[in-house]
């Protein structure tokens, strides 16, 4: 079992960002994945918040299907209501409480 350092070197930060963008780019239409899952797959399990930060502040991220990233409870990003519309257009179902039905739309990369 690998030991994960709590902080990233600049090189690791670069690799992390690239992994995040790669993974997000692979999310299929009509499916969603979570911040924590992406962070874990990128090799930094405790950096879920960094995934959100990366998608929000990395130039070019808008070109990726970043609207397909929600939190673990299926909640959409605060202050970005359009995200729900985009997902619904792809056929993603929302529950009564306004959360994505994760049990039927969660996607996990290989």
Partner DNA sequence: TGCTTGACAGAAG
Partner DNA sequence: CCTTCTGCCAAGC
Q: Which spans of this chain sit near DNA (rule: CB under 7 A)?
A: 6-8, 13, 34-37, 46-53, 55-56, 61, 66-67, 69, 71-73, 75, 77-80, 95-98
The distance of closest approach from Cβ of residue 18 to DNA in the complex, given in angstroms and rounded to an integer, is 14
CB within 8 A of 50, min separation 6: which ones? 16, 39, 44
Q: Of 75 and 91, which has the nearer Cβ to DNA?
A: 75
Least Å distance, CB 78 to DNA, is 5
Q: Where does 1-110 have alpha helices with state H? A: 10-26, 35-41, 48-57, 82-89, 102-105
Q: Min. distance of Cβ 64 from DNA in angstroms?
A: 9
Cβ atoms < 10 Å from Cβ of 94: 15
* Residue (4 or 91) nearer to DNA, CB: 4
Cβ distance to DNA smaller for residue 28 or 98? 98
- Least separation in angstroms between CB 52 and DNA: 3
User: Of the two residues 78 and 110, which places its CB atom closer to DNA in the complex?
Assistant: 78
- In angstroms, the CA 61 to CA 5 distance is 26
Around 13, how many Cα atoms within 13 Å sit in the side-chain half-sphere?
A: 9
């Amino acid at each position: 079992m690998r030991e994960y350092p709590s902080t990233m070197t600049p090189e690791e930060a670069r690799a992390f960002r690239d992994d995040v963008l790669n993974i997000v780019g692979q999310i299929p239409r009509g499916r969603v994945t979570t911040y924590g899952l992406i962070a874990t797959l990128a090799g930094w399990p405790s950096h879920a918040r960094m995934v959100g930060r990366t998608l929000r502040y990395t130039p070019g991220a808008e070109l990726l299907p970043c609207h397909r990233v929600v939190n673990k409870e299926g909640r959409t990003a605060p202050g970005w209501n359009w995200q729900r519309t985009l997902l619904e257009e792809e056929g993603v179902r929302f529950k009564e409480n306004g959360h994505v039905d994760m049990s039927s739309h969660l996607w996990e990369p290989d």
